[in-house]
Amino acid sequence: MNHSVTTAELFSAKAPLINGQRLWQSLMDLAQLGATAKGGVCRLALTDLDRQARDLFVQWCTEAGCSVSVDAIGNIFARRPGRDAQRAPVMTGSHIDTQPTGGKFDGCFGVLAGLEVIRTLNDLGLQTAAPIEVVVWTNEEGSRFPPCMMGSGVFAGRFDLAETLAKRDEQGISVGQALQGIGYAGSRAVLGHAVGAYFEAHIEQGPILEDQGKTIGVVMGCLGQKWFDLTLSGVEAHAGPTPMALRKDALVGAAQVVAAVNRIAHALQPHACGTVGCLEVHPGSRNVIPGEVKMTLDLRHLHSDKLQAMVDQVQQAIAEACDQHGLTQRLTPTADFPPLDFASQCVDAVRDGAVQLGLSHMDIVSGAGHDAIFLAELGPAGMIFVPCEGGISHNEIENASPEDLAAGCAVLLRAMVSAAN
């Protein structure tokens, strides 16, 4: 458009107004940094490839007229000024680090959808009352450095800065050293400023929207998560001479726990998920009865009481397996995220945007963790989901259609302008 528009004209337009082709091209350009042979992306946090991606984002934001700042944990903030500089910014963003075998859209869509909002506001000549801010959060994935959602966690005051900078990867390199190495150890104060509202656009990472034939997921909240490391100890012994009745087989006990985790999750539907993702058997010889098994437990539910019920029932199943097979146990909590309900005004803004644009939509719950979880502690927050092919994510074949991505960005534009005015 060659003339500026008013906010009223923006909301009366039935067309998305954003440039879907420009959004798609930005996603494809970013995906070249760390591109894999299978069509995915390997761009681990705070590597040189991450530096290149950050540099490209900063270049694009500077060209769009934004002021750019970086904080001490490496979060990048690109701000488009509003009419009232004193108002808390309306923020959006996500991450650009990936899993080792990641895709083009997880996180990256949320960042570049935010950039496209700013570019579109520039095209339309529309200035919001509050500033608009797009953020790249450091190390959301946690693949190289634990924990996940590191940058937003420090920003929200959930993680201590000094302790986080001291975290090390498998090569012994600390977060602080890696940030210095790529030139993104910023000078901006790290604890979060006031947040007028926060919206995060994201591929669903699950199959529900595609299965239901809906374009927009209006995210109501996120499942609570409780993670544990479990060690079951028995006695390794020769597989031949040791009678079945006299064995203390840690793997048999572990199998019982795996079955219990799945049974309990099925029994507490809807919104319950239970997963054993890692299993390490010692000594790992075909003719030795396993004497020790280390395993991970991942329990999730939308409701706190049901999540605690899952934990209680799994603990009971572990105790029964130990009693039955003569084992001892060590259960260590490793993560605890309470269930989250997003702010009603943000949820409504997303739903209204979908309705105004005539987009099919449905209420949905996020089963995964996102930076929006921590931002919701600082101000009203919400999320927008769009379908991904087959529900597949954290995978090199992760895919989403240009049309769905453009639709999600168009809803983001309307939600952010509504909040900023």
User: Which of 319, 337, 355 represents a domain boundary (last residue)?
Assistant: 337
On whether both 31 and 159 belong to a single domain, the answer is yes
pLDDT of residue 146: 87
How many domains, in total, are found in the chain?
Answer: 2
Residues of the domain holding 72: 7-222+339-420
The pairing of strands 76-80 and 132-136 is antiparallel
CATH number of the domain bearing residue 268: 3.30.70.360
At residue 15, does pLDDT exceed 90? no
Residue 409 lies in a domain: yes
The pairing of strands 292-301 and 273-275 is antiparallel
233 token code pair: 């100890």
Give 344: exposed, middle or buried? Use CB within 10 Å, 0-12, 13-18, 19+.
exposed
On whether both 329 and 352 belong to a single domain, the answer is no
On whether both 62 and 128 belong to a single domain, the answer is yes
On whether both 217 and 361 belong to a single domain, the answer is yes
On whether both 235 and 213 belong to a single domain, the answer is no
Q: What is the distance between the alpha carbons of residues 295 and 319, in angstroms, rounded to a whole number?
A: 15
On whether both 137 and 67 belong to a single domain, the answer is yes
Residue 1 lies in a domain: no
Spatial contact of 202 and 137, defined as CB atoms under 8 Å apart: no
At residue 242, does pLDDT exceed 70? yes
Spatial contact of 129 and 82, defined as CB atoms under 8 Å apart: yes
User: Which of 337, 363, 385 represents a domain boundary (last residue)?
Assistant: 337
pLDDT of residue 3: 56
On whether both 356 and 217 belong to a single domain, the answer is yes
Residue 2 lies in a domain: no
User: Which of 337, 354, 383 represents a domain boundary (last residue)?
Assistant: 337
On whether both 182 and 58 belong to a single domain, the answer is yes
Cβ neighbours of residue 416 under 8 Å, at least 6 residues apart? 90, 92, 117, 128, 132, 197, 199
pLDDT of residue 13: 79
On whether both 162 and 107 belong to a single domain, the answer is yes
On whether both 315 and 181 belong to a single domain, the answer is no
Sign of the C-alpha dihedral computed for residues 259, 396, 29 and 96 taken in this order: positive
At residue 160 the predicted structure's pLDDT band, cuts being 50, 70 and 90, is very high
**Where is pLDDT greater, at 10 or 104?**
104
Q: Mean pLDDT, to the nearest integer, of 157-183? A: 97
CA dihedral 362, 367, 371, 372 (to 10 degrees): 40
Residue 131 lies in a domain: yes
- Over residues 296-355, the pLDDT tens digits come to 999 999 999 999 999 999 999 999 999 999 999 999 998 888 899 999 999 999 999 999
Q: What is the distance between the alpha carbons of residues 107 and 104, in angstroms, rounded to a whole number?
A: 9
CATH number of the domain bearing residue 128: 3.40.630.10
- Over residues 386-398, the pLDDT tens digits come to 999 999 999 999 9
Residue 202 lies in a domain: yes
- Over residues 65-100, the pLDDT tens digits come to 999 999 999 999 999 999 999 999 999 999 999 999
At residue 2, does pLDDT exceed 80? no
On whether both 299 and 377 belong to a single domain, the answer is no
pLDDT of residue 117: 98
Q: Name the average pLDDT for the chain.
A: 96
Q: Tell which residue, 174, 164, 196, 198, has the closest CA to residue 72.
A: 164
At residue 1 the predicted structure's pLDDT band, cuts being 50, 70 and 90, is very low
Claim: this prediction has a pTM higher than 0.85: yes
Q: What is the distance between the alpha carbons of residues 92 and 131, in angstroms, rounded to a whole number?
A: 11
On whether both 193 and 244 belong to a single domain, the answer is no
